[in-house]
Amino acid sequence: MPRLGAPVRLVLLVSGCTIFGAAPAAWANNIEDVSHSIKSGQYAKALDQVDRYLADKPKDAQGRFLKGIILTGMNKQGEAIAVFRKLTEDYPELPEPYNNLAVIYAQQKQYDKAKEALEMAIRTHPAYATAHENLGDIYSRLASQAYGKALQIDSTNESAQTKLAMISDLVGTGKVGVGGTAPTPIVAASKTPTVQPAAPAPTPPTPIVVATVKPAEPAKPVDASIEIAAAIDGWLSAWSKKDVKGYLAVYAKDFDPPKDQSRKEWENERTQRVGKPGKIEVSRDKLAIKAEGDDKVVVRFRQHYKSASLSTSSGKTLVLVKRDGKWLIQQERVGG
Amino acid sequence: MTARKFLSGLAACTLFAAGAFADVPVRYTDSGPEPLLAHVFEQIEQNQWEAALNETEALVKAYPKFRLGHLIKGDLLLARTRPLQRFGQGGPRVAEEQVADLREEAIARLRAYKNKPTESQVPRYLVQLRSDQKHAVVVDTQKARLYLYQNDNGTPRFVADYYISHGKLGVEKLTEGDKKTPIGVYHVTSSLPRQKLPDLYGNGAYPLNYPNEWDKKMGRKGHGIWLHGTPSDTFSRPPKASDGCVVLANTDLDALAKNLQIGSTPVIISNSIEWLSLDDWQTERQSLLTMIDEWRRDWESLDLERYASHYARDFKSDGKDLDAWLAQKKKVNAGKQWIKVATNNISMFRNPGKDDYVVVTFEQDYLSSNLSNRMQKRQYWIKDGGRWKIVSEDAA
């Protein structure tokens, strides 16, 4: 399973459907209506639909799961927690309710509870990437809380950012499955902090932690990998958002366009392609960073590209250079 | 794995700095965070990360304001998401000094825990406790530790030990405001309750009699050296943190305070405690008691030469030098047929550090053919030409 950060969390919905099996056609339509309402942000309507659905099938896991997502979207966290918690009791073998429970606890800054829930999700499904990924997040936040207590640092900034990312994740979860809908700025904004490798083994640090634990700190050599990861994630995020200006801004002045194109020709081609209508998601796996000097690195990673019509994963190699304190792309090649 | 390497590296540098401790029998008489802390580090050494984190959680639950505990918790959590190279790596760079302080605290706590004194070891300084001195306090600033002893029929018995902080700029206080802790033999002079103190001093304060007679003789200045607690938001402070005071965690101060007798409990502050085996301690004690007794008998003998042999060349008493003192004694003795001197309730404490002296107090019962009196006396004995001699003698 590709580890896509925010996009992966759409697995909640989709795999939910598959796990719970095919429902009778009439019900299936009903559930689809609910999903549609969620995806278009009509939570009140979705709640009404799902309540009617559950009136007939009160034990239905899929319906209850969607209700939890709706309540989360409506900011009724207490009720959402109750729904997801009951699901974990009735279906302890499902990791998704644990995961979502954890996301809400994290929103409420109850990181210890979030951690417990995610550990339960992993206990039932050791390979559940989303839970691993979220757990990494939670560890980071618990760590910065602990450092805050140890060193008497104020970490108020962090919580605000965390909350935004988490809420939009759930909204994003609902949206991605549809295909046609234009991404909202919130969804796009959520990508940078959440696109991250999920491996529990040594991984590059999450941008969230860096941004919050070390505010306004000059870069250290040790932390160059963090800046580089942030630059690449910013680039992927701009690409996904079809923010052509932001996308091109990550390329250095002396970027070497492929196929003997001039800078102008290349820019025109990219503007046209990146700006093409239709929803896309571009994300990445773990970065392999090799220093080529103080201000130059070669970075290799798997890049995942997904649109309504195309879904690919390929090796990508970028040469980045540091100019005026920013990491910029000097060369871009497909392949490792 | 780098994370693992880092943390066991920390454990190694902390524990190995503590020296060889495996052979020292450890007595679990303390109630502080050290047993849990030491166990956490053992688990880190054995790569038992989950267990180490669980115990650290228990540690900060038991001691919510224990910053060192929170730092280790932060490291253990962060090690799950990225490789760590050093202690407290997740802390911001502006807090580097605090991290270094907490590392010092970890080393101090573990070192003291792993090197506890055994049953048969006594601080050399506690030569003779008076029967009314129920307890004695000995501080080791290098180890950041305070040891409480009980007077068990004259033999000091270990009761408890506590982590302490001392002066930011170390020891051997000399002048006002030098942020150093004095080294010497002191006692608690009064008790200041929490209500009368700023929060900085925590649950209370116990002023010491710095500068004592010896310090004054040496020209040492300054005042306000106290034993006191920690602010309400702080469990403990770094090993070197105070302006010269000896600082204990509030719970430890409360426990200690129960055993402090105002005006009599000795508080001996050393840079590094010299430990004697009980046998050696007994031998030294006997020879010092004999020394006092010889002085007493030579005084009774009315032989001025024998009496004078116990006094140092630069002796001073109340402005008198040695010649004046002996002249006076000769004059007094001339009118006596006999003298009887008794020294009761002797206390003797040896000074730690560079100035090697023994401070002796006793109740002097003086009977003579024409005059009798009873007084409390204090003498300072120093090594002069290889022999113990009196350098100062006054009414206490």
- pLDDT averaged per 10 residues in sequence order, chain B, 396 residues: 44 38 39 89 87 92 94 90 81 84 93 88 95 96 96 93 95 93 95 93 95 90 95 94 95 95 95 95 95 96 95 90 94 92 95 91 94 93 91 89
What CATH class has A6-194?
mainly alpha
Same domain for B109 and B170? no
Q: Which of A109-123, A258-272, B199-213, B287-301 has the lowest mean pLDDT?
A: A258-272
Same domain for B144 and B98? no
- Chain B within 8 Å of A199 (Cβ-Cβ)? no
**Most confident range, picked from A21-25, A53-57, A199-203:** A53-57
- DSSP single-letter state for residue B302: T
Final residue in a domain of this structure, among B273, B291, B307 = B273
Tokens 């701009």 correspond to: A238
Domain that holds residue B269: 121-273
Same domain for B286 and B166? no
Same domain for B238 and B296? no
pLDDT, residue A61, reads 87
Nearest-CB residue to B74 (from A136, A143, A220):
A143
Q: What is the ipTM of this complex?
A: 0.72
Contacts of B33 in chain A (CB under 8 A): none
Q: How many CB atoms lie within 10 A of CB A325?
A: 8
More confident of the two residues A190 and B394: B394
Q: Which residues, in sequence order, are bridge partners of residue A297?
A: A291, A320
Q: Which two tokens stand for residue A220?
A: 């250290």
Each as own residue / partner, the long-range contacts of residues B33-40 (CB below 8 Å, 24 or more positions apart, any chain) are: B33/B59, B33/B62, B33/B63, B33/B66, B33/B69, B33/B109, B34/B109, B34/B110, B34/B112, B34/B113, B34/B163, B35/B113, B36/B62, B37/B68, B37/B69, B37/B106, B37/B109, B37/B110, B37/B113, B38/B110, B38/B113, B38/B114, B40/B72
Same domain for B247 and B334? no
Distance CA A288, CA A303 (A): 12
For residue B356, give the H/E element and its range.
none
- Burial code (b: 16+ CB inside 10 Å, e: under 16) for B168-184 equals bebbbbeeeebbbbbbb
Distance CA B49, CA B40 (A): 9
Indicate the residue type of B313.
Answer: R
Same domain for B153 and B266? yes
Q: What share of chain B is helix, strand, coil (3-state, %, to 5)?
A: 35, 30, 35
Tokens 């009160």 correspond to: A58
In terms of Cα–Cα distance, which of A303, A146, A139 is closest to A206?
A139
Same domain for B193 and B206? yes
Same domain for B199 and B261? yes
Q: How many domains does chain B have?
A: 3
In terms of Cα–Cα distance, which of B111, B143, B132, B157 is closest to B274?
B143
Q: Would you kindly state where each structural domain of chain A is located, as residue ranges?
A: 6-194, 218-334
- A15 contact partners, CB below 8 Å, separation of at least 6: A96
Same domain for B300 and B215? no
Structure pTM? 0.65
A52 min Cα distance to partner chain B (Å): 43
Same domain for B183 and B243? yes
The stretch A73-87 carries a mean pLDDT of: 93
Same domain for B251 and B263? yes
Pairing relation of β-strands B320-321 and B311-317?
antiparallel
User: Chain B: residue nearest A138 by CA?
Assistant: B77
User: Chain B: residue nearest A134 by CA?
Assistant: B81
CB pairs under 8 A between A and B: 89
Question: Using CB atoms within 10 A of its CB, is residue A118 exposed (0-12), middle (13-18) or buried (19+)?
Answer: buried
In terms of Cα–Cα distance, which of A280, A187, A211, A202 is closest to A239?
A280
- B356 contact partners, CB below 8 Å, separation of at least 6: B350, B382, B383
Final residue in a domain of this structure, among B95, B114, B133 = B114
Contacts of B74 in chain A (CB under 8 A): 142-147, 150
Same domain for B229 and B359? no
Answer for the pair A206, A306: CB distance below 8 angstroms, yes or no.
no
Q: Which two tokens stand for residue B287?
A: 């020879």
Q: How many CB atoms lie within 10 A of CB A8?
A: 23
Tokens 């900034």 correspond to: A157
Final residue in a domain of this structure, among B62, B93, B114 = B114
Q: Is the CB of A140 less than 8 angstroms away from the CB of B3?
A: no
Nearest-CB residue to B71 (from A142, A150, A200):
A150
Pairing relation of β-strands B266-270 and B240-242?
unpaired
- Chain A within 8 Å of B83 (Cβ-Cβ)? yes
Mean pLDDT of chain A: 70
Q: Which CATH number fits domain A218-334: 3.40.720.10, 3.10.450.50, 3.40.950.10, 3.40.50.20?
A: 3.10.450.50
In terms of Cα–Cα distance, which of B39, B99, B91, B74 is closest to A111?
B74
